[in-house]
Structures are given as structure tokens and as C-alpha cells.
């Protein structure tokens, strides 16, 4: 990705803010002198200075001054305070990107005096290793070139999709935002099953980890539907069908639906 003249302010330097900054620097999209990171916690500022080499601020107003791209990486409950500060020095041409779950663009714009250039993004924890899946929603005030640049920016930490309906971001939150935790639970359960049946823990963990990793690579590279891949592994009367029968009897699919529904519902509750 080409370096750009953009000055970026990252408001909130927690795990996700740091992951995104690391991705942007690692891809060569930004130099350290083009990024300002803000956080109320001086310890987090120190971490960002040492690990990323960027300028840090405890005052959001100073971080945003002169920035043409503002990344809001604070928790939903801290967003109103951050916006009250950011709004004081925000450029009228700046693009504001929020990664807070459940915080709508209308809510953001109302607290930014109707600022037209607002984007919502929902990355996930895999941004830490540049393997996130990020969904983006653009307000009508975002131009085509700006849309392209935002997609490139989030592309530095993984894959990107665009949703045209903002409500769908709540579903994205329930599916891929929370998804890594579901996958880790699946991996944990596979490993525990192996240990219970007699494998050593290191061997069981290695098998579970690489089974999930290999399956994901197979799905990506083959381009086949998940159902077709599952059927490809099953042979009549074989071991895989015996295991899948137990999962189906235990309402495995229904449990996943309920989990995604619950997380989606919680995302919507955060918007109230």
C-alpha cells in the first residue's frame, strides 16, 4: 500500500487501537510521524511510543488538531466524552471512523454537530496478527475516493467487506466481531476432548489448532461452499459421520444461531 499525506489521529490506544496502528505502520501505509495516538492512561501512551514510535497525547483535542482521518477506538461507554473533546478541534474535512459496537452514525453525527463524513467499522481481535475481517458502513457524505482509502486502510489488518445497511453491523458484531471467541471455544473443546480420551495436552492443543487453521485455508483456497467441504470429508458409515451425528443431535447449529443472536441483540442494546 502506498504511503499517503494523511495525518491520522487514533483516539483510544487499547488493544484494538494499537493493533490497527501496528497494521498501518507494518504495511507501509503510514509513517510513525503521520500518526498521533491518544489515551487517558499514561501507561498506554508509553506503550504506543515504545512499540509504535508514534506521538502520544492524553488530550484528545490536541491529537485531533489538524488530522484528516480520526479513528475512534474507545469503548461505547466512553464515546460521548471523547466526542465532546474531539468536536472542539475536528476539521470539517476530516473523515471520522468509529469501531465502537452499537454506536450508530446518527448518534455520532449528532454529537459532532452534524459532521457528514462518518464511517463505522467492525474489525475483530485477529487484527492483532493482520488477519481481521472488518465490515464497513459509509455515511452518504463519504466520497468514492475516501471509501477506497478507508477500505485500503482496514485492508492492512485483514479482509474487508462493505455493508449498505447500517443495521447489519449489529449482525456483523455478533458473527465476526465476537466470532474469534466462538472459534477459540471450539478449539478448546476439541483439545479437551482429545485429552479426556488419552492424548497429552500439548499434542491435543497442536491438533486442534492446526485442524482449525488448515480447515480455514482449505475453505479459502478451494472456494467451495462449507457444506460441500463437509460432505467431501464424510464417507458412508465412517468416523466423521458418526461424530457429526452427535453434533446434530446436540443442536450444534441452533446453539451457534442463539449465540450470534444474543451478541447481535447486545450490540443493539448498546445503541440505546
User: What is the CATH number for 252?
Assistant: 1.10.3730.10
Collapse the DSSP code of 113 into the 3-class scheme (helix H, G, I; strand E, B; otherwise coil) and give the result. coil
pLDDT tens digits for range 213-229:
999 999 999 999 999 99
Q: Within a domain: residue 249?
A: yes
Q: Is the pLDDT of residue 4 over 70?
A: no
Q: State the residue range of the domain holding 51.
A: 8-167
Q: Is the pLDDT of residue 129 over 90?
A: no
Q: What is the CA radius of gyration of the chain?
A: 21
Collapse the DSSP code of 138 into the 3-class scheme (helix H, G, I; strand E, B; otherwise coil) and give the result. strand
What percent of the chain is modeled with pLDDT above 90? 83
Instruction: Judge contact between 7 and 24, C-beta under 8 A.
Output: no
- 143 and 209 inside one domain: no
Q: Within a domain: residue 248?
A: yes
pLDDT tens digits for range 165-189:
999 999 999 999 999 999 999 999 9
Instruction: Judge contact between 162 and 135, C-beta under 8 A.
Output: yes
Average pLDDT, the chain: 93
- 101 and 21 inside one domain: yes
- 199 and 242 inside one domain: yes
Instruction: Judge contact between 165 and 138, C-beta under 8 A.
Output: no
* CA 74/CA 146 separation, integer angstroms: 22
* CA 231/CA 240 separation, integer angstroms: 10
Of 106, 137, 167, the one marking the end of a domain is 167
The predicted structure's pLDDT at residue 209: 98
Burial classification of residue 268, based on how many CB atoms lie within 10 Å of its CB (0-12 exposed, 13-18 middle, 19 or more buried): middle
Mean pLDDT value of segment 5-13: 89
* CA 101/CA 124 separation, integer angstroms: 11
Q: Within a domain: residue 83?
A: yes
What's the predicted TM-score (pTM) here? Answer: 0.89
CA distances from 80 to 42, 84, 112, 123, 177 (A): 21, 6, 10, 21, 22
Q: Within a domain: residue 1?
A: no
- 139 and 183 inside one domain: no
pLDDT tens digits for range 231-269:
999 999 999 999 999 999 999 999 999 999 999 999 888
- 208 and 96 inside one domain: no
Give the number of other Cβ atoms within 10 Å of residue 69's Cβ: 24
- 62 and 191 inside one domain: no
Quick one: pLDDT band at residue 5, thresholds 50, 70, 90?
Answer: low
Of 120, 140, 167, the one marking the end of a domain is 167
The predicted structure's pLDDT at residue 237: 93
Q: Is the pLDDT of residue 271 over 80?
A: no
Mean pLDDT value of segment 31-43: 95
- How many separate domains does the chain show? 2
Amino acid at each position: 500500500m502506498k504511503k499517503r499525506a494523511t495525518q491520522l489521529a487514533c483516539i483510544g490506544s487499547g488493544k484494538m487501537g494499537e493493533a490497527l496502528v501496528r497494521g498501518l505502520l507494518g504495511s507501509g501505509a503510514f509513517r510513525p510521524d503521520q500518526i498521533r495516538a491518544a489515551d487517558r492512561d499514561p501507561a498506554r501512551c508509553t506503550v504506543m511510543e515504545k512499540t509504535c514510535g508514534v506521538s502520544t497525547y492524553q488530550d484528545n483535542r490536541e491529537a485531533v488538531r489538524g488530522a484528516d482521518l480520526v479513528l475512534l477506538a474507545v469503548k461505547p461507554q466512553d464515546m460521548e466524552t471523547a466526542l465532546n473533546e474531539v468536536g472542539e478541534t475536528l476539521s470539517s474535512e476530516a473523515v471520522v471512523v468509529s469501531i465502537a459496537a452499537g454506536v450508530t452514525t446518527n448518534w455520532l453525527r449528532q454529537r459532532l454537530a452534524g459532521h457528514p463524513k462518518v464511517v463505522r467499522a467492525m474489525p475483530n481481535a485477529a487484527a492483532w496478527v493482520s488477519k481481521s475481517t472488518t465490515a464497513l458502513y459509509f455515511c452518504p457524505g463519504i466520497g468514492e475516493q475516501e471509501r477506497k482509502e478507508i477500505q485500503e486502510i482496514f485492508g492492512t489488518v485483514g479482509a474487508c467487506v462493505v455493508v449498505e445497511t447500517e443495521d447489519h453491523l449489529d449482525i456483523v458484531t455478533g458473527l465476526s466481531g465476537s466470532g474469534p471467541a466462538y472459534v477459540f471455544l471450539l478449539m478448546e473443546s476439541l483439545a479437551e476432548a482429545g485429552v479426556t480420551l488419552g492424548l497429552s495436552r500439548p499434542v491435543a492443543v497442536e491438533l486442534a489448532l492446526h485442524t482449525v487453521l488448515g480447515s480455514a485455508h482449505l475453505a479459502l483456497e478451494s472456494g467451495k461452499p462449507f457444506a460441500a467441504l463437509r460432505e467431501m470429508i464424510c464417507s458412508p458409515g465412517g468416523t466423521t459421520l458418526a461424530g457429526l451425528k452427535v453434533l446434530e443431535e446436540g443442536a450444534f447449529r441452533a446453539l451457534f444461531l442463539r449465540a450470534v443472536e444474543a451478541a447481535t441483540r447486545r450490540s443493539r442494546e448498546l445503541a440505546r
